[in-house]
Structure 1
């Protein structure tokens, strides 16, 4: 039996390989709504795969390395100075592929996970709906059985990168005669199938990364079901567990920098220094607070991850670092704007201070309140599923969904 490579041996090998094969990280990062950025991400993922550093925590039978979260953490630390396929971290690797690993049939896992790790397939989530808000179980997109097939109709929204994806994990209603959580099924939907239309949504930042999808009589085979028919809520709950882990920084399935966790405070120091503002005591205090928050963030991620792994905390505790990371993201963007001042809105190419993305990051800060489920939902999860507090009262609990009033 071959001995597993130690974390330090793996770190040393990764350090050497990264230096020899990966280009330095670009600054700023390419916009996530540019076609070339997704093509580049696929290329970089293939480079990692061919070099033996893709899917570090995925099982070997599905193309991964079968190593531990400590190995992944070591690789991530070594990879920070280099260009990495960050666009594939969320949601392809850390949410969709991780969910397929937990829920998919053997055929689904063998067909899709190696392709994901080679950079050949990009996966996204089709969960939220235009009329649904945070009530995911109240969705009305439907899949009706037609012999051995399913016919999908409806619409999804706020799907990051759907226009560049190959497959989407789509939650649809398959039984309207039971309460809303019981009649759902999760499907693996080809994004380019006949009847699927993807429209990009322009945000206040100018980005068109988010998308809305329309499904018009999309024919899906029986083997498109992920998990069990009418067992979609359990499947979606597992997917949301991986989403909270990803956006809280606790996922073992992604590599490279984690800008969605608030970034690193070194950027604030460098910006303040370049602008000659380090002599300001208020600026130094802001940078100190930002650094302290990142230390707490990393320690909280490690603590909660360990507690979930050992069973000391339930999986729902992943909502804790997810909530903290959102609040840290707000603090980091607010701090950057205070330091940059007017330069955050009037960046000049070639300026000494790197303030190019400060204003856009601030405009986008509200997204961290919503990604992975709103912060309000995260607080509910923590109170109800971690602390054991009473659930919120709802008027549609245990009511067949076809008897619940809609559109009022």
Structure 2
């Protein structure tokens, strides 16, 4: 980074002018994330940002970024809110996977993949959860066996957002079964389209097929596919989960544009109230006021925790605090929207001008915000144990070699 770095205000003005001259206004509703067209469009928008000099604002210059500060990123994010942005690439590609590669990857991995991500040439996803694993990530049974100077991957992962459209996945697999479960894991960078990888899409209650399940059948991985250290996968996954909490909580410095589903925006509630003739109703006005207040608290909490982690006042695990709050705020926002919409939330008519289609779909999907980025129960555990220093909860398999832990088949 040069000493004559552009000031935040200079950067803001330049970004404002460029955005106005280059990008289209943001569409009134978020486009579905389960079509090839949507992902290709996001890639194109990311390339526009890159070519315009506004991609990877906080990524180092040696890996294709701008090497600027979080304040520069915050200024660009604020200015970009009215415009169409490649939001699909924010999570997990930029905020989680690319950020994890920046922290954990070899120099070759970073120079190969990070510039490609910032150009929109590569999409990265997470291969973490397993069909029978629940919230016990360290209890996974997908395995990678060493074969000379390569690895053979077998197993299955699930709930991978956008995997069908991705190029690479960060995959956690077991590489040593003779040690306790946290000690025998390794993180790999897996080509999604490699021989032996099968991706199946999962249809949700909303009709979306964004989530996927993956099957790995004798997938051959080279030695340089390891991210971090062999058998050091839990430390690598912990760093990845830190970035995941930051992304879901709104504290990540690697995203641009609006942050959908961090609690919604109360403007939608006001439109709903007007469209349904309830804008004069005192109860509805109180509900909208509460929603606005919660969003203000959310933004202040994100700013406070971000600063505290950056200065060392709070540990990185404190990212679980805004992640938990954002989930609870998302519930409040979606519940409030449905209460205002009433029957219209279930009987949407195209063109009714009240966003009632998204109200109904958001309500059906509301439980996801208690699970994405780790469940809210896990967030509470992280806060209690790693921020407040409370004792860890009991675990029957702690310090037991994994091949001696009973588990179903």
Q: Deviations over 1:151-185 (max 9, x none)?
A: 00000000000000000000000000000000000
Distance across 2 between alignment mates of 1:260 and 1:193: 33
Is 1:240 the counterpart of 2:276 in the alignment? Answer: no
Distance across 1 between alignment mates of 2:112 and 2:221: 16
Q: Deviations over 1:107-146 (max 9, x none)?
A: 0000000000000000000000001000000000000000
Task: Indicate the residue corresponding to 2:115 in structure 1.
Answer: 114
Instruction: Return the offset for 1:356.
Output: 2.0
Distance across 2 between alignment mates of 1:221 and 1:353: 53
Distance across 1 between alignment mates of 2:200 and 2:344: 34
Where 1:260 maps in the other structure, the secondary structure is: coil
Where 2:261 maps in the other structure, the secondary structure is: helix
Task: Indicate the residue corresponding to 1:330 in structure 2.
Answer: 331
The equivalences for 1:182-261 within 5 A come to 182-261=183-262
Distance across 1 between alignment mates of 2:406 and 2:356: 50
Cα RMSD for the two superposed structures: 0.8
Q: Answer with 341-350 or 116-125: which moved more.
A: 341-350
Task: Indicate the residue corresponding to 2:160 in structure 1.
Answer: 159
Distance across 2 between alignment mates of 1:5 and 1:339: 46
Contact conserved, 1:126 with 1:157, CA < 8 A, in 2? Answer: yes
Task: Indicate the residue corresponding to 1:383 in structure 2.
Answer: 384
Is 1:8 the counterpart of 2:9 in the alignment? Answer: yes
Instruction: Return the offset for 1:29.
Output: 1.4
Contact conserved, 1:272 with 1:278, CA < 8 A, in 2? Answer: yes
Distance across 1 between alignment mates of 2:219 and 2:261: 34
Where 1:388 maps in the other structure, the secondary structure is: coil
Instruction: Return the offset for 1:274.
Output: 2.4
Q: Deviations over 1:226-274 (max 9, x none)?
A: 0000000000000000000000000000000011201211111122122
Task: Indicate the residue corresponding to 1:340 in structure 2.
Answer: 341
- For these two proteins, the number of residue pairs brought into alignment is 408
Is 1:105 the counterpart of 2:106 in the alignment? Answer: yes
Is 1:130 the counterpart of 2:131 in the alignment? Answer: yes
Is 1:401 the counterpart of 2:392 in the alignment? Answer: no
Runs of 4 or more above 6 Å deviation: none
**Which consecutive residues of structure 2, in runs of 5 or more, have no partner in the other structure?**
none
The equivalences for 1:29-68 within 5 A come to 29-68=30-69
**Which consecutive residues of structure 1, in runs of 5 or more, have no partner in the other structure?**
none
Is 1:147 the counterpart of 2:148 in the alignment? Answer: yes
Where 2:350 maps in the other structure, the secondary structure is: coil
Distance across 2 between alignment mates of 1:300 and 1:2: 31
Where 2:32 maps in the other structure, the secondary structure is: coil
Instruction: Return the offset for 1:2.
Output: 5.0
Contact conserved, 1:275 with 1:352, CA < 8 A, in 2? Answer: no
The equivalences for 1:315-326 within 5 A come to 315-326=316-327
Task: Indicate the residue corresponding to 1:290 in structure 2.
Answer: 291
